[in-house]
A and B are shown apart, each in its own frame.
Chain A
Amino acid sequence: MTALPHTATVHKPVPHDSAPGHVAGAARYIDDLPEPEGLLHAALHLAERAHAKILKIDVSRALALPGVHDAITVADIPGNPDIAPVAGPEPVLASGTVEFHGQPVVAVLADSLQIARRAAALVTVEYEDLPAILDLAEAVEKKSLLLPPLGLKRGDAAAAIAKAPHRLQGELRLGGQDHFYLEGQISLAEPREGGDVILRCSTQHPSEVQKLVARVLGRPLHAVTVECRRMGGGFGGKETQAAQFACLAAVLAIRSGRPVKLRLDRDEDMIATGKRHDFLSRYTVGFDGTGRILGYELLLAGRGGWTADLTGAVVDRAVFHADSSYWLPDVTITGLCCRTNTVSNTAFRGFGGPQGMATTEYVIDEIARHLQRDPLEVRLANLYGQSERNVTPYFQTIEDNILPGLFDELLASSDYRRRRQDIDAFNARSPHLKKGLALTPVKFGISFTTTFLNQAGALVLVYEDGSVQLNHGGTEMGQGLYVKVAQVVAETLGIGLDAIRITATRTDKVPNTSATAASAGADLNGKAAENAALAIRGRLAEFAGGLFGVPAAQVQFRAGNVTGGGQALSFADLVHKAYLARIPLWSSGFYATPDIHFDRAAGRGKPFYYFAYGVAATEALVDTFTGEYRFTRADLLHDCGASLNPAIDLGQVEGAYLQGLGWLTMEELWWDDAGRLRTHAPSTYKIPTARDLPADFRVQLVAGRANPAQTVFRSKAVGEPPFMLAISAWLALKDAVAAATGGGAVHLDAPATPERVLMAIAAAQPRQAGS
């Protein structure tokens, strides 16, 4: 293990740049900004049918309310109303039919938010009901698909399964998940001269908002500017789905000639915006007596909802991650993008990866139950090798598999084997309470699987006083991207972080950016900003070399000083001299991830630049009377390469784990027979609280191991990978259920609410012998 080079700013646990503002209430979100003169407020009327023809829309009562200025339908969109990010159609307001219960139909504009919301409720729509597909299984049966399936195939899975000594088949359902970002969707649009518009929008993807606003206005991209200083959480929910509300605010602003704010309330936000895809999986697996998988056939059906949004890429990533961390010699994996009359699902941390991985971890667990072995042994038997058995089903060779070492380390630090014995002993003597323990790995591929998205730009401006403004295409949603990129620039220029001002992400500073997504924000924007800073440093070094009489290569930038040949200048002094000498003091920077490619038709390539790894062991305690449970201990070990900021990364790992635990345990989306989401606020949709954190929570970053790939300061992406450490919590519950039912097969869908745990106990039959 090579020691990391000495650094002043990167690799240091620097606090989030906005932390003092957060704690003082001084960090501003869009709804906190001083309201522009003449601001009007918009509100939406949402569809009250899951699938219906629109016969008539009556906005007269809404318009009659004092203080109401406008009410628009899709017919009032001046440009192209299709806001599909990839494949449409996706009308910005319902067009001809409504496709899900809660689809926006009318947008109303009024003097105040209260009046706008009252007016929106006065809109009446006449419908003629159409048949609706609400259930995912029905969509699978009826082949109701949004896009063609993606298939990966190696060898002959069916033949391998037929020959295998043991076989299992089954079906699993994994629920969706609401993002529950604390700040709901919001946009503030201000008309500018010449029909231009500037928007402040809580979005992970300002460039796409810009593009779609331009489209609905029928204007070129240069007429639209989008800014985002920070979001109150995103998690994928503001990657594509902020655009609809930005577009409506922009149209209303252009129509009225006045600034317009559109802020959804919590219920509207949860009803009208997409979520993590719920999945239905069907598997057949053949394996030997040690649990080694010989053949594997897997169908992964994701619920896309009424339109494609990002479903194609989400299901692709589920398929790419269905190997979890295991060598699958003969394998067929098929991903389906199912169409239902429900809200269009979208990106959510992990982006299909969790669903693919969780399915195969579940299958591994079932193999172990079948063979009456500890699931850990079956995992180790199937784990990818380091020089053989190391090619994924999409034919990418895993070049830096550190999982065997991580298993060893966590097995020791978590005292797994002794605790396994203690738990078995506890379960033998405890009739009503049962414990479970599970240890699961994470291997997560880093890069957008849509290759062209792997690009980024930055703009670094050095002013003549030596202060620096930093801008790049990445957005800040709490993940600490801004401070990480600032650390990179500070390190590169040898200056303190306090010399750098981080400015809002704007489409007029860096154009054509990709979404801040796929965990790639720091990888891409950090490199782009580093390239910009290197360009400036190169010019300054050349200039300083001239002053000091040494070659540029001997000029050092460190601790706010520039030195060479025994001479020194402060960075500010050098910059001022360079300004007088007419040296350009700003630069853009660009980065495109090298060495990645994927042939979708052949199912072959290297879609990922590298993998991030982790291992977690979670222990659960279950009350067999009620299905209630607690997580009593969790041990997490996660790989961030040479972390740019260990404090920020630790926060990502901890937060991702608990968010994943919420997805797999308590967070339940529930639709009624009419297709209405009935869990649309925190009173009914329960995300974890402080008490749900495992009582004994031990989290470690893998120490001092640089990324072998040439990433920014050899760090690794961290946003999504640790989310999947929480699979261990769900399987710990499954382990406890198995203890309650005497071993054998356990069916436990997610979310594993107390109800599902109790019903799994009630339903489980003692294990049947044979295969």
Chain B
Amino acid sequence: MSEPVRFVSRGQVVTVGPDVPHTMTALEYLRLRLRRTGSKEGCAEGDCGACTVVVGELAGDGNLRYRAVNACILLVHQLDGHALFTVDDLAEEDGRLHPVQKAMVDAHGSQCGFCTPGFVMSLFAYFRGHDRADAEELKDCLAGNLCRCTGYRPILEAGERMFALAGGSTDRFAAGEAALAAQLQGLARSRMLRHSTPDGDFLAPETPEDLAETLATLPEGENWILAGGTDVGLWITKQRRNPRSIVSIGRIAALRRITDHGDAIEIGAGATYSDAFAAIESLHPDFARMVRRLGSVQIRNSGTIGGNIANGSPIGDSMPALIALGARLALRSRAGRREMPLEDFFLAYRRTALQPGEFVESVTVRKPAADSRFAAYKLSKRFDQDISAVLAAFHLRLDGGIVREARIAFGGMAGIPARAPKTEAALADLSFTPAAIEPAVAALAADYTPMTDMRASAAYRLLAAQNLLRKFCHEVNAGGKIGVEAAE
């Protein structure tokens, strides 16, 4: 029997019935079913931000959290139990514009206007979460929204102006928060959501045990585990695939948990990059700097570390950093739990050690020792929201300037995120100085045979990888970062 998905919009509970396919995105639902056409499709892959909406979610403390997300790769079913805000909802009923909207008009922040609804919603999420603007934060806030007309300067200006127009971050949504929170509490579920449609099922277990049981008893056919949907969403919108079942882990609180074990941090597979950001920053600021660039705010608000691991992509930016830090994975199924080093999980291009019925439960990372040196470098054509040409992570233990232990991992240099054993061996017992490490730099050519594709040539990948090791060495010796970001 099918249960409706329920979410709150404009103060009303919206009920999504069995006539809505299990693969329908929130954007399609808005535009085709509700006929609310303010949110636009620009790319259907979460890269342009024209479809940005804001999801209101009850946090553990009972307060509302506002997350900007891409509606084009969010399934409408993932809204279950949440509130949805779109560009169509912001103005007052008499048409008076919200301060975010008014600031955009005043700053001449729209030209063709097609990207504008997405910018308005990214700014709205920022507005709800802050009481004044920070110029650098605004660039980060808007990194997932592409505008082809304005050059962005007026939009950044609107971000500064909106707080002044509102006299802080007060608006009618702030006033309605308590009522909305109560409404969302009323949508809480005590058992698994089963939304069955003629095309297939959307299932959302509440506990890891439920999940293990569900995965063990799925019918024959193509069945997917869905976390944030930043990859799986594209299997629907771009590959036009139609699975038998989609099993969402988004409602499992235990999988979103982040636990500090003292010497290590354990991150649940369902924790989004935004959830885990503080924990990642506590592991190493360089890791956090890289995570800020691996995807836009919208992507980090949806995408999970567990999903990033489980999809087995050769270009997941976190993998080299996690491997260099010696991360271990916990896998789970109805049969039980097992652990493995992260690098052993990746078998070949898009192939992992995950068995049928098994899921990634968490990843545990030891905190770097005081005498260790760590750095992560991401190279891409564009600084923000771009898939890496090369991702390098270096983790050394030095004793009086001598390398005692080296863990090096790269993304973009092979079919899987991979360590550099020959380079690591060549570094052992070397003095970590620019002149001394050249044999290790040369060894990278023996560790990797990168390929040429649309992101970079093989020659660039290898030269850049070697230069990154040189750069890391210069930085360690200089005691600070060298680069365009650090210099600004």
Using CB atoms and an 8 Å cutoff, list the residues of chain A in contact with chain B: 13, 15-16, 18-29, 31-32, 34, 114, 117-118, 121, 179-183, 230-235, 265-267, 432-433, 477-480, 621-623, 625-630, 632, 647-648, 650-651, 654-659, 666, 668, 670, 678-679, 681-684, 686-693, 695, 697, 699, 753-755, 758-759, 762
Contacts and interface: CB of A to CB of B under 8 A. Distances in A.
Interface stretch (B61-69, B150-158, B270-278, B396-404): B150-158
B382 A755 contact: no
Interface in B110-135: 110-117, 120
A648 B44 CA distance: 30
Contacts of B104: 19, 22-23
A690 B142 contact: yes
13 contacts: A24-B91, A179-B148, A182-B40, A182-B42, A182-B112, A182-B114, A234-B112, A478-B110, A630-B383, A657-B151, A682-B42, A690-B139, A693-B153
B425 interface: no
B383 A478 contact: no
Nearest to B21: A114
Among the interface residues A179, A668, A687, A691, which one has the most CB atoms of the partner chain B within 10 A?
A691
A23 B484 CA distance: 35
B218 interface: no
Assign chain B's interface to a size class. 35 or more
B105 A628 contact: no
Interface stretch (B330-338, B442-450, B467-475): B467-475
Contacts of A478: 110-114, 149
Given A32-B37, A627-B464, A622 B112 contact: no
Contact of A681 (B41, B45, B154, B377): B45
Contact of B112 (A233, A632, A693): A233
B101 A480 contact: no
Given A651-B154, A758-B464, A118 B240 contact: yes
Contact of B111 (A121, A655, A759): A655
Contacts of A22: 104, 110, 113, 116-117
A625 B434 CA distance: 13
A16 B111 CA distance: 7
B112 A230 contact: yes
B172 interface: no
Interface string B454-488: 11110110011001101100100000001111011
A34 B36 CA distance: 10
B480 to A, nearest CB: 12
B105 A15 contact: yes
B146 A654 contact: no
Nearest to B457: A755
A674 to B, nearest CB: 13
A22 to B, nearest CB: 3
Contacts of B142: 689-690
Given A626-B471, A651-B108, A691-B139, A25 B149 contact: no
Contacts of A182: 40, 42, 48, 50, 112, 114-115, 146-148
B380 to A, nearest CB: 8
Nearest to A624: B467
B39 A25 contact: yes
B19 to A, nearest CB: 13
Nearest to A14: B108
A23 B97 contact: yes
B86 interface: yes
Given A183-B42, A626-B467, 12 more contacts: A19-B110, A19-B113, A23-B104, A25-B86, A180-B146, A181-B148, A632-B488, A651-B111, A683-B45, A684-B454, A754-B379, A758-B460
B33 interface: no
Given A630-B484, A691-B384, A670 B114 contact: no
Interface string B356-371: 0000000000000000
Nearest to B234: A683
Interface in B16-71: 31, 35-45, 47-48, 50
